[in-house]
A and B are shown apart, each in its own frame.
Chain A
Amino acid sequence: MSVIIILLIASISIAGLFLFAFLWGVKSGQFEDDYSPASRILFDDKPTSSTKTE
């Protein structure tokens, strides 16, 4: 029985962690602009002008 209690505590704290992650994500505005971060990752830091991508 005590095992179940430990598991219970573990599972609820993990769920709590996810809840915290969600609230934190909302607060820091991660859900506000879904276009720019997705495009931003595609840009190289220093585009090489010699090799042109077609």
Chain B
Amino acid sequence: MVYQILSQSDLCDYYNLNENPGLSQRIKVRKDKFSFLDDEKIQLQLISFRDDKQVHITFYLPQMHCSSCLYLLENLHRLDGGVISSKVNFTRKEVDIVLLTDKTSLRKVAETLTSIGYEPYISLNDLKEKRPVIDKSMVYQIGVAGFAFGNIMLLSFPEYLGIDATETSLRSVFRWISFGLAIPVLLYSALPFYQSSWKSIKHKFLNIDAPIALAIIITFIRSAYEVISGTGGGYFDSMTGIVFFMLAGRILQDKTYRQLSFERDYSSYFPIAISVLKDNKEVPTALPDIKPGDTLLIHHEELIPADGILTRGKAFIDYSFVTGESLPVLKEMGEIVYAGGKQTEGNIEILVVKEVTQSYLTKLWNRDEFKEQEENKKVSFVNILSRYFTYIVLTIAAATAVYWQINDPSRMWPAVTAIFIIACPCALFLSNTFTNGNVLRILGRNHLYLRNAQTIEEMAGATHIVFDKTGTLTSTQQQDIVYEGLALTAYQLHQVAALADSSNHPLSKALAKHIGKTKEIHVEGFKEITGQGIEGLVNNDLLKLGSYEYITGEVNRQPGTAVYISFEGELFGYFLFNNHYREAIPSLINELKKEYHLSVLSGDNTAEKDTLQKLLGKKATLLFHQKPEDKLQYIQYLQNQGEKVMMIGDGLNDAGALKQSDIGIAVAEQTNNFTPSSDAIIEAKQLSKLTKFISLCRANRNIVIASFVLSIVYNVIGLFFAVQGTLSPLIAAILMPSSSLSILLLTFGSSSLIARQMKL
């Protein structure tokens, strides 16, 4: 089908460009899926610009993955004549489309995109304010600082090497130019340090930026004084240089993974609009406009956006998103269905009882605790270290001042200012930012993405690790199936497979896949009773597959998931479905067991308690039937006991716990899958390296401290000159870059070396 559309428009090159273009298109999209795009009000919130003729819109296309996609999407105007241009931003997986309103519509474009396999992802989140633009000001600032630094360095050569007595006027010209170049650095490039230190002073806490800002200002004033009075060249080169290096470090550390989002809440998962039934007509309505009393039509495979009562149809709801329960739940008419579930079979209607923002699931996000937490940001050890450092520097400065006041008052000010210049904790700042930046980079290369640098420390400091079971310890994509009962012949197995293959139920599909399809066996009179089982005539044998109740008519509640099977009414046995543990989990758990307290929280039933207990050891806590709130409360309970909790989970059901924990790691099968808001995102395959990641984070701290010690050595050398009041520009000019560079080498080298030793 995709090929047809493409060949009509002469875009067949798409298939020549890459070996594997286009993920196969699995789900055919419902006809009215994008009808909400015709709605004026919704349109206005999505588009970025419009006039009488044109509309500009940006679609997020998570399926984009190769250069062929790029080619295809940028040739969209051949598939839809109304599209003027389409421009892809691959890093963000977005396409900016300009279209003519009289020739096409947003809905048509969205449908065209869907038909070629790139379904635009439009979620409730898009209805909120526009996404914040990436702050580029620090890049501008480093540009200015680099410009000034380079030029001042060149202009300072007469200061370093001396100049002929006849040409001293030239030297003063150079000094004045340097002065001029340093002003934008002082007033613009160094802004982030002033802002951050001002903030910290307001909170009555001295962070590392405060002494740095002080040092920058003092250096400038002293240098300006020297230039104006004609007594010296000042230290503009050192000042601009250090600002440049520190900005570089900060940018490296703050480098975020733009294609990932750590701030998702429920609104990123929910659709933007849903069909509301009014006078027997489907009206697409934006989610915030849904009120209690509305009747919603939920289509096959759609998410239920609000809590409601089922009024028509049989709901077969997949709550794995919310509860972690791996199998769909059957709900009859009149029962309450909660938001967050996905309808898996057929259409249903529900009567809304609560608004979207008030539903059981969304309330988890709106807890007041989270808002408070945001304000109580944790303090990095570097800030505490820098505070001691500042006190020591102040003491030395005071002592020097007193000494020179007694012996030679004229040398007091030069000496004291020199101390502040030389003893700025720039080196500590540099070592910290560059090590953090490098560690983040190494972890990112291994598909563990941390939200920010502070997370490294949290990761190193964790004492208790809590796992979610479904989707984290176990894989959602595989199940272990064991047969128990009367022996089945190979032929009978094939019959079972043929019957199972006729059904769309997840268990049937897994079963068919497990047995493997061989011969085509025709199934007649296939009947499926939702939530119960399936039956059919397979080569004239009446076969039934399903729950114990469905097969025998008696109620039998055993823990665990089993599919019973009968031939001609005779019960043969059952297939037991066990969760499939990720391959790397046992060895990972074995390593973690030695150092950490472990817990497992599961929304599932207790069927696998024994297996898990054996795996995790006797000390581990295992809790089952955990609702999202229970998980959150368990984390809180641990924290009240003084534990630093690392939570590893995947679904929305863990979202509260992930947020509450000191460090929440979301597990994703693929990094461009959606993950709940967390401090870190890890690719499922990389879970086995978790212990290595943790030890790298611990090494991070040691590297920072080691390079700090090195920087203190430089500081002592500098102070030796400074207290005597004999810090010459040359010494400062050598000391500053060499200390900075050697610290960079040490931090980069050692963190990379440690990573290589760990084979990361």
Binding site for B on A (CB under 8 A): 1, 4-5, 8, 11-12, 15-16, 18-19, 22-23, 26-27, 31-36, 39-40, 42-43, 47, 49, 52-54
**B162 in the interface (beta carbon within 8 A):** no
Closest residue of chain A to B75, judged by CB?
Answer: A43
Closest residue of chain A to B139, judged by CB?
Answer: A26
Closest residue of chain A to B73, judged by CB?
Answer: A36
Given A26-B140, A34-B91, A40-B74, also A47-B13 (CB < 8 A) = yes
Binds A, one of B142-150, B615-623, B698-706: B142-150
Q: Which residues of B from 9 to 58 have beta carbons under 8 Å from A? A: 10-13, 16
Verify B143–A26 contact, CB threshold 8 A: yes
A-B contact pairs, 20 of them (CB 8 A): A1-B170, A4-B170, A5-B173, A8-B173, A15-B147, A18-B147, A19-B144, A23-B140, A26-B136, A33-B91, A34-B91, A36-B88, A36-B90, A39-B70, A39-B90, A40-B70, A40-B74, A43-B71, A47-B11, A53-B16
Given A1-B170, A15-B150, A43-B71, also A36-B89 (CB < 8 A) = yes
Q: Which residues of B from 449 to 469 have beta carbons under 8 Å from A? A: none
B144 proximity list for chain A (CB < 8 A):
19
Q: Which of A12, A19, A53 contacts B177 (CB 8 A)?
A: A12
Verify A32–B134 contact, CB threshold 8 A: yes
- What's the minimum C-beta distance from B18 to chain A, rounded to whole angstroms? 10
Q: Which of A15, A19, A42, A49 contacts B67 (CB 8 A)?
A: A42
Closest residue of chain A to B140, judged by CB?
Answer: A23
B136 proximity list for chain A (CB < 8 A):
26-27
- What's the minimum C-beta distance from A33 to chain B, rounded to whole angstroms? 5
Q: How many Å lie between the Cα of A4 and that of B155 in the bound state?
A: 12
- What's the minimum C-beta distance from A17 to chain B, rounded to whole angstroms? 10
Closest residue of chain A to B147, judged by CB?
Answer: A19
Q: Which of A26, A27, A39, A54 has the most CB of B within 10 A?
A: A39
Q: How many Å lie between the Cα of A4 and that of B74 in the bound state?
A: 52
- What's the minimum C-beta distance from B444 to chain A, rounded to whole angstroms? 16
Chain B 195-221 against A: per-residue CB contact (8 Å), 1 yes, 0 no?
000000000000000000000000000
Closest residue of chain B to A19, judged by CB?
Answer: B147
Q: How many Å lie between the Cα of A1 and that of B140 in the bound state?
A: 34
Given A5-B173, A12-B177, A47-B13, also A23-B67 (CB < 8 A) = no
Closest residue of chain A to B88, judged by CB?
Answer: A36
Closest residue of chain B to A53, judged by CB?
Answer: B16
A35 proximity list for chain B (CB < 8 A):
70, 90-91
Q: How many Å lie between the Cα of A19 and that of B169 in the bound state?
A: 28
- Having A15-B147, A18-B147, A32-B134, one finds 4 other A-B pairs with CB under 8 Å, namely A19-B143, A23-B143, A33-B89, A33-B91
Verify A22–B143 contact, CB threshold 8 A: yes
Q: How many Å lie between the Cα of A39 and that of B169 in the bound state?
A: 55
B150 proximity list for chain A (CB < 8 A):
15
- What's the minimum C-beta distance from A34 to chain B, rounded to whole angstroms? 7
A16 proximity list for chain B (CB < 8 A):
147
How many B residues are at the interface, by size bracket?
A: 20 to 34
Q: Which residues of B from 118 to 161 have beta carbons under 8 Å from A? A: 134, 136, 139-140, 143-144, 147, 150-151, 154
Q: How many Å lie between the Cα of A42 and that of B16 in the bound state?
A: 13
**B92 in the interface (beta carbon within 8 A):** yes
Q: How many Å lie between the Cα of A42 and that of B13 in the bound state?
A: 13
Q: Is the interface of B mostly helix, strand, loop or mixed?
A: helix
Verify A33–B90 contact, CB threshold 8 A: yes
Closest residue of chain B to A45, judged by CB?
Answer: B75
Q: Which of B12, B90, B143, B147 contacts A49 (CB 8 A)?
A: B12
**B167 in the interface (beta carbon within 8 A):** yes
- What's the minimum C-beta distance from A36 to chain B, rounded to whole angstroms? 4
- What's the minimum C-beta distance from A45 to chain B, rounded to whole angstroms? 10
- What's the minimum C-beta distance from B734 to chain A, rounded to whole angstroms? 24
Q: Which residues of B from 76 to 125 have beta carbons under 8 Å from A? A: 88-92
Chain B 284-297 against A: per-residue CB contact (8 Å), 1 yes, 0 no?
00000000000000
Q: How many Å lie between the Cα of A49 and that of B14 in the bound state?
A: 10
Given A15-B147, A26-B140, A36-B90, also A49-B74 (CB < 8 A) = no
Verify A52–B16 contact, CB threshold 8 A: yes
Chain B 680-716 against A: per-residue CB contact (8 Å), 1 yes, 0 no?
0000000000000000000000000000000000000
A33 proximity list for chain B (CB < 8 A):
89-92
Q: Which of B74, B139, B177 contacts A8 (CB 8 A)?
A: B177
B170 proximity list for chain A (CB < 8 A):
1, 4
Q: How many Å lie between the Cα of A4 and that of B143 in the bound state?
A: 26
Given A12-B151, A12-B177, A19-B143, also A32-B70 (CB < 8 A) = no
B140 proximity list for chain A (CB < 8 A):
23, 26
- What's the minimum C-beta distance from B201 to chain A, rounded to whole angstroms? 31
Q: How many Å lie between the Cα of A5 and that of B136 in the bound state?
A: 35
Q: How many Å lie between the Cα of A31 and that of B258 in the bound state?
A: 12
A4 proximity list for chain B (CB < 8 A):
170
Q: Which of B67, B89, B143 contacts A32 (CB 8 A)?
A: B89
Q: How many Å lie between the Cα of A43 and that of B16 in the bound state?
A: 12
B169 proximity list for chain A (CB < 8 A):
1
- What's the minimum C-beta distance from B171 to chain A, rounded to whole angstroms? 11
- What's the minimum C-beta distance from A15 to chain B, rounded to whole angstroms? 6
Closest residue of chain B to A5, judged by CB?
Answer: B173
A22 proximity list for chain B (CB < 8 A):
143
B10 proximity list for chain A (CB < 8 A):
47, 49
Q: How many Å lie between the Cα of A26 and that of B141 in the bound state?
A: 11
Q: How many Å lie between the Cα of A34 and that of B90 in the bound state?
A: 8
Q: How many Å lie between the Cα of A54 and that of B67 in the bound state?
A: 16
Q: How many Å lie between the Cα of A42 and that of B66 in the bound state?
A: 13
- What's the minimum C-beta distance from B312 to chain A, rounded to whole angstroms? 47
B143 proximity list for chain A (CB < 8 A):
19, 22-23, 26
B16 proximity list for chain A (CB < 8 A):
52-54
- What's the minimum C-beta distance from B25 to chain A, rounded to whole angstroms? 22
Q: How many Å lie between the Cα of A53 and that of B18 in the bound state?
A: 11
